Amino acid sequence: MPYQNITVSTEDGIAVVTLNRPDVLNALNQATMDELVSALEEFEREGSVRCIVLTGAGRAFAAGADIKEMAGASAPEMLAGYRFQQWERIRKVTTPLIAAVNGFALGGGCELAMLCDMIVAAETAQFGQPEINLGIMPGAGGTQRLTRAIGKSRAMEMVLTGRPISARQAEACGLVSRVVPAETVLDEAKRLAKEIAAKGAVAVRLAKEAVLKAFDTHLEGGLDYERKCFYLLFATEDRSEGIAAFLEKRRPAFKGR
């Protein structure tokens, strides 16, 4: 499918989706969000992509929602279910998502990175929720996901001052899983994606679901969910293959079933 605002490539079971409006630091207008959602859902439908890397062209991952597009929006328009549904649809993607954050990840850009399952950051990356400077506040999960990721005090400071943090600060407080030289960020994310893509697909899917469950359930419910996923994997061929391969001292050949 031809896209105007993103580019998409696939190789060896991984996909790279690049937000591609570098002139406006990949500001997330509705058209970009629409294309992003349809690309991700197409991968889910098609089934051969096992891990997805999301990145940005130029010097930003994304500098937030498109402020020009938001300028004339009314409160009822901003509340329109459709806008939130796009983010919900990304949240429901079962394939692991890795954000390769190459520069600014601000506002909706930071929220989009946090919606991914892992964040690999360039040394030059910056993360922030500057909405307060526009007289608004985060609206796509920033107050919730940032707080869960880095704790109340740090999240409160970022959200109330709008000041960004560096990649190193983001790493120190657990927002990103690793920081790498800027020129290698995409390669590192792709390497990570390939490593994940080589695992048993059913196990990866259930493990992702179980980790995410930790965000929206109490411990007992989460443990119960984990246990059910764990038992379920004993019904897969990949489980037999993985354990046989270990015992036979060879690499497993997972089939995703």
- Catalytic residue numbers read 65, 108, 111, 131
What's the closest the beta carbon of residue 233 comes to ligand DAK, in angstroms?
A: 35
CB of 148 or CB of 213, closer to ligand DAK? 148
Interacting residues of 189 by C-beta distance below 8 A, sequence separation 6+: 53, 55, 98, 99, 100, 120
Helices (H), the chain: 30-46, 67-71, 75-79, 81-91, 108-115, 147-150, 152-161, 167-172, 185-197, 201-216, 219-233, 237-247
Contact yes or no for 80/87 (Cβ under 8 A): no
**Which positions ≥6 away from 227 have C-beta within 8 Å?**
none
Nearer to ligand DAK by Cβ, of 142 and 200: the residue is 142
Q: Which two tokens stand for residue 176?
A: 């990103």
- Provide the Cα torsion 45, 49, 54, 55; round to 10°: -130
CB of 238 to ligand DAK, least distance (A): 37
Are 66 and 27 in contact by the 8 Å Cβ rule? The answer is yes
Binding site for ligand DAK (CB under 6 A): 24-25, 27, 63-68, 78, 83-84, 87, 104, 106-108, 130-131, 134, 139-140
Q: Could you tell me the smallest distance in angstroms from the CB atom of residue 59 to ligand DAK? A: 7
Token pair, residue 135, equals 């007289």
Per-residue tokens: 187: 């390669």
Pick the closer one to ligand DAK by CB: 104 or 254.
Answer: 104
- Smaller CB separation from ligand DAK, 78 or 253: 78
49 vs 106, which CB is nearer to ligand DAK? 106
Which residue has its beta carbon closest to ligand DAK?
Answer: 107
- Shortest approach of ligand DAK to residue 127 CB, angstroms? 12
CB of 118 to ligand DAK, least distance (A): 21
Largest interatomic CA distance in the chain = 64
> Contact 103/126 with Cβ under 8 angstroms?
yes
